[in-house]
Structure 1
Amino acid sequence: MPIDAAKALAAEPRTGELSWDHKDVQLYHLGIGAGVPASDPDELRYTLESRLHVLPSFATVAGAGSPGVISGLSMPGVDVDLARVLHGGQSLRIHRPIPARGRARATGRIAAVYDKGKAAVLVMRTEVADDGPLWTNDAQIYVRGEGGWGGDRGPSTRLDPPSREPDRVVERHVREDQALLYRLSGDWNPLHADPEFAKRAGFDRPILHGLCTYGMTLKAVVGTLLDGDVTRVRSYATRFAGVVYPGETLRIRMWRLDGEVRVAVSAVERDDAPVLADTVVEHT
């Protein structure tokens, strides 16, 4: 079995130094669609260095070379074909607002391995700190064809959306070159750029990074329901329920609840095919 759960869980954590500055933050924001319209004051908070706010989802790319999804696939006990890998979900907890310039230490390890029958799920946890904790990232890595060894199936995180109509619905267009721009923040998986690789992975053409949709969605929530205040976000979790192709339109439905926003995202052009599900933004 290419995945040895016991060996993966027992492996020593990997550590690395991270650094970033305003250029990295601005590039990330542009990669998730910020800057349209270019002179809009709400957009300048994400694109102009003199008034820069850091969207918390920047934590998923900060430092570019930090432990993450690709790093998790090279941990002891893990030997899989990248073409069989999908990003199944992501959760992020923010301990302090992220500065526009920083240095920190990242510690990454495989926190769980689940047997889903026809697939395995690896939970790659990255904890980042400078003088104290900054953020904790959990990436759920879905590996097709690697389950079935009789291991723990893991918890169920499915959430039924509220039964009432959404409080807000917004649409966000994904540019044709969105994946090419987003990957410059450090996710070089060829699935998002190389048509031949995408076909080998079972897709007609390259797909958008799930974490790009993740960032676009959080930006919409912050701008629509959190008064544009990025510091109000405490945690953000989602399950990647379907793919997005560059050029499509995201329909983002939002429900206000006590201390959180529930979100569902779909692809407009494919009859509202689900994209993000079980999505929760906790806030102050």
Structure 2
Amino acid sequence: MPIDAAKALAAEPRSGEIAWTPKDVQLYHLGVGAAANPDKRSPATDPDELRYTLESRLHVLPSFATVAGAGSPGVISGLSMPGIDVDLARVLHGGQTVRIHRPLPAEGTATATSRIAAVYDKGKAAVLVMRTEVTDAEGPLWTNEAQIFVRGEGGWGGARGPSARLEPPAGEPDKVVERPVREDQALLYRLSGDWNPLHADPEFAKVAGFERPILHGLCTYGITLKAVVDTLLGGDVSRVRSYATRFAGVVYPGETLRIRMWSRGSGGSRDGGDGGNSGDSRVQVSVTAVDRDDAPVLADTLVEHS
């Protein structure tokens, strides 16, 4: 079996130094739609957008944690761990969670420690859970957890793992925004370190079962968090505590995303849409593809914030 669950779980964690600069942060922000906000009259020079693109006032979107250090440590690197030997064309990113311990600095050096935290048997597929903990000289910075879906690698009799889903939100969303995806969005986003040819090479995409290259799930992840921060959190990236999603469908470059947001207080009650309650509050999010009759893209999506 190309996946040896026991060997993968028993493998020693891998640690290495990662570093990033304001240029890396700016490139990532452009890759997830900064300076292209359709709600702004002149988005490239709008003060709210310059927080993402101008080094003198740079704030770091917490989802940058998924690419800091020039790569997506939970996906491509996870496939090179002991006990794992799979065909990249069979791999999809199933879900992602980022927990933020401190606001991300615009420039830094840190140690990233990664391991396979779980391997689940879904019958026709396997799910690898790759956990990466990142610390710097001052302590923990963030924890990434990626769920890697590998088609055709299940059926060995292992545990199926959790399948919890969020309860559908009640009532109409507090906010609904639309975000267009540029035709070259995946080509720009991949410069932040995710070189999977599925997102650039038409022939590879066809082998993987898609009509053409698809957008990185983590690009949609970043676009969505930026929309939540800009729309409900007053543009304050430091308020984000954690962000989790399940990738429910693909996005093709050139499509438009519809992002619905339900804002809740720490007890689950409606908080008026600004997340200003004491204690952590939550925004539940649904993302669909407008061009394909609102086909699901991100599901079970939750932003916890102060």
Question: Aligned equivalents of 1:212 and 1:33: distance in 2?
Answer: 9
Q: Does 1:38 align with 2:60?
A: no
Q: Does 1:94 align with 2:100?
A: yes
Using the TM superposition, give the Cα deviation of residue 65 of structure 1 relative to its aligned residue in structure 2, in angstroms: 4.3
Structure 2 residue aligned with 1:103: 109
Question: Aligned equivalents of 2:12 and 2:151: distance in 1?
Answer: 25
Deviations 1:52-81 (A, max 9, x none): 000000000000147331111111110100
Using the TM superposition, give the Cα deviation of residue 171 of structure 1 relative to its aligned residue in structure 2, in angstroms: 0.2
Question: Aligned equivalents of 2:46 and 2:124: distance in 1?
Answer: 47
**Aligned mate of 2:156, from 146, 149, 153:** 149
Q: Does 1:247 align with 2:254?
A: yes
Seq. identity, %? 84
Question: Aligned equivalents of 1:67 and 1:278: distance in 2?
Answer: 22
Structure 2 residue aligned with 1:267: 289
Using the TM superposition, give the Cα deviation of residue 156 of structure 1 relative to its aligned residue in structure 2, in angstroms: 1.6
Letter in 1 for 2:297: V
Question: Aligned equivalents of 1:13 and 1:67: distance in 2?
Answer: 13
Aligned residue-pair number: 284
Letter in 1 for 2:11: A
Structure 1 residue aligned with 2:204: 197
Output the aligned Cα RMSD.
Answer: 0.8
Structure 2 residue aligned with 1:225: 232
Question: Aligned equivalents of 1:248 and 1:127: distance in 2?
Answer: 34
Question: Aligned equivalents of 1:221 and 1:236: distance in 2?
Answer: 11
Question: Aligned equivalents of 2:21 and 2:232: distance in 1?
Answer: 28
Using the TM superposition, give the Cα deviation of residue 160 of structure 1 relative to its aligned residue in structure 2, in angstroms: 2.5
Structure 2 residue aligned with 1:10: 10
Q: How do 1:115-194 and structure 2 match up within 5 A? A: 115-131=121-137, 132-194=139-201
Letter in 2 for 1:117: G
Question: Aligned equivalents of 2:72 and 2:190: distance in 1?
Answer: 15
Query: Residues 35 and 53 of structure 2 are in contact (CA less than 8 Å); yes or no, is this contact kept in structure 1?
Result: yes
Query: Residues 16 and 66 of structure 1 are in contact (CA less than 8 Å); yes or no, is this contact kept in structure 2?
Result: no
Instruction: Indicate how the Cα distance of structure 1 residues 41 and 174 shifts in structure 2: closer, same or farther if over 3 A, else same.
Output: same
Letter in 1 for 2:15: T
Question: Aligned equivalents of 1:134 and 1:103: distance in 2?
Answer: 11
Instruction: Indicate how the Cα distance of structure 1 residues 263 and 65 shifts in structure 2: closer, same or farther if over 3 A, else same.
Output: closer
Question: Aligned equivalents of 1:235 and 1:153: distance in 2?
Answer: 25
Deviations 1:127-155 (A, max 9, x none): 00002000000000000010011111111
Query: Residues 2 and 80 of structure 1 are in contact (CA less than 8 Å); yes or no, is this contact kept in structure 2?
Result: yes
Using the TM superposition, give the Cα deviation of residue 159 of structure 1 relative to its aligned residue in structure 2, in angstroms: 1.2
Instruction: Indicate how the Cα distance of structure 1 residues 174 and 65 shifts in structure 2: closer, same or farther if over 3 A, else same.
Output: closer
Structure 1 gaps, min length 5: none
Query: Residues 241 and 305 of structure 2 are in contact (CA less than 8 Å); yes or no, is this contact kept in structure 1?
Result: yes
Q: TM-score, normalised by structure 2?
A: 0.92
Using the TM superposition, give the Cα deviation of residue 163 of structure 1 relative to its aligned residue in structure 2, in angstroms: 2.2
Query: Residues 122 and 141 of structure 1 are in contact (CA less than 8 Å); yes or no, is this contact kept in structure 2?
Result: yes
Query: Residues 17 and 66 of structure 1 are in contact (CA less than 8 Å); yes or no, is this contact kept in structure 2?
Result: no
Larger deviation, residues 79-88 vs 33-42: 33-42
Question: Aligned equivalents of 1:180 and 1:15: distance in 2?
Answer: 29
Instruction: Indicate how the Cα distance of structure 1 residues 207 and 66 shifts in structure 2: closer, same or farther if over 3 A, else same.
Output: closer
Q: TM-score, normalised by structure 1?
A: 0.99
Larger deviation, residues 144-153 vs 201-210: 144-153
Using the TM superposition, give the Cα deviation of residue 21 of structure 1 relative to its aligned residue in structure 2, in angstroms: 0.7
Deviations 1:225-273 (A, max 9, x none): 0111000000000000000000000000000111100000000000000
Query: Residues 54 and 98 of structure 1 are in contact (CA less than 8 Å); yes or no, is this contact kept in structure 2?
Result: yes
Structure 1 residue aligned with 2:77: 71
Structure 2 gaps, min length 5: 37-42, 266-280
